[in-house]
Amino acid sequence: MLKKRIIICLDVKDGRTTKGVKFLNNVDIGDPVDMAAEYYKQGVDELVFYDIMASARGRGPILDLIARVASQVFIPFCVGGGIGTIDDIRSTILAGAEKISLNSQAVKNPDLIKQGAKIFGNQCIVLGMDAKRDESMKSGYRVYINGGRVATELDALDWAVQAVKLGAGEIVLNSIDADGTRQGYELTLTKLISEHTEVPIIASGGGGTSGHLAEVLTSAKADAALIASMVHSGEYTVGSIKKDLAKMGVPVRLDF
């Protein structure tokens, strides 16, 4: 049986790790390099680094910071934020990332997914999607870009299916409604996209307890759960979460 993955997200603003609720009121919580090293020691399966202001400010990735974080972890490392060209993808991989998350830039230029997958392989190209409940959309969810600031006309399910056809090898599905609330993941949308695509789905937004992770990894059929607040707060460690999940019958990697 495939193990379920626990992934920690470092949202980075101005070179520092930050955390907010529903993409608002972000506060500084530490140095991303030090935090990456600590979570690696704790046994996290993968690490995601998002530069949350890069697209909004119209700039590319911060390569020196990416390289410093990559030097501390020896697990899959995904980077997103401001990656808008093939050269950006190449330079980010050369800085130490194994995967590239395309979010706003993929919406603005879907061909970037196709070209990125063709050159670097589907396994390198991750669709990052920020979605919010909207009854006017076919699936009930609308896609947002620029760190959740700008609404698009894209339906979340339609965009997920299209992105996979273009070559995305994985989807990080972030619920704006649940982000930072620690009240549980967006189960309905996660299950919907899991059932209509054939790539791994990483649930993001709302994780607050080990039970929330167990729920999204089983009933909503997510392949991985992305967490931030629950470990950044110090209430949980990666190890304590994994032990809880194992007791609940969720297959996770415990060799750390």
> Which residues are identified as catalytic?
11, 130
Q: How far is CA 252 from CA 48, 57, 62, 202, 209, in A?
A: 18, 38, 32, 15, 16
Q: Is the dihedral of CA 182, 75, 221, 214 positive or negative?
A: negative
Partners of 142 in the β-ladder: 132, 155
Q: How far is CA 31 from CA 10, 100, 120, 140, 149, in A?
A: 10, 21, 30, 37, 25
2 phi-psi bin (left φ>0, alpha ψ -120 to 50, beta other): beta
For residues 153 and 151, give the distance between their C-alpha atoms in angstroms, rounded to a whole number: 7
For residues 50 and 16, give the distance between their C-alpha atoms in angstroms, rounded to a whole number: 11
